Amino acid sequence: MIPVDHTGNSLFIKDLEEIENKVFLKYRSTLNDIPFMRTEIFVVDDNNNIGIVGTDGTVLFRFAEQWLLKLINE
């Protein structure tokens, strides 16, 4: 779980997977009522963060790489 804002919303990520030098995960957020969705993640913010990006290129969520490292090590 990754905190999304200061009001208690969270981003849940699971099933991290690397395929042909691309990294995918499943995510869902408490901001809306959608099931877990699989998506590719990208490096954003001049290589400072990881981003979940919408189909139009808009960064939907960004978080520090340490959150993924925590998931990998669990």
Q: Where are the chain's structural domains?
A: 2-73
Structure tokens at 31: 């901001």
Residue 52's pLDDT is 94
For residue 34, how many C-alpha atoms fall within 13 Å in the half-sphere facing its CB?
11
Q: What φ, ψ does residue 18 adopt, rounded to 5°?
A: -110, 125
Residue 73's pLDDT is 78
pTM confidence score: 0.82
Whether pLDDT at 74 is above 80: no
**pLDDT per position as a tens digit, 21-70:** 999 999 999 998 889 999 999 999 998 899 999 989 899 999 988 888 88
Residue 69's pLDDT is 83
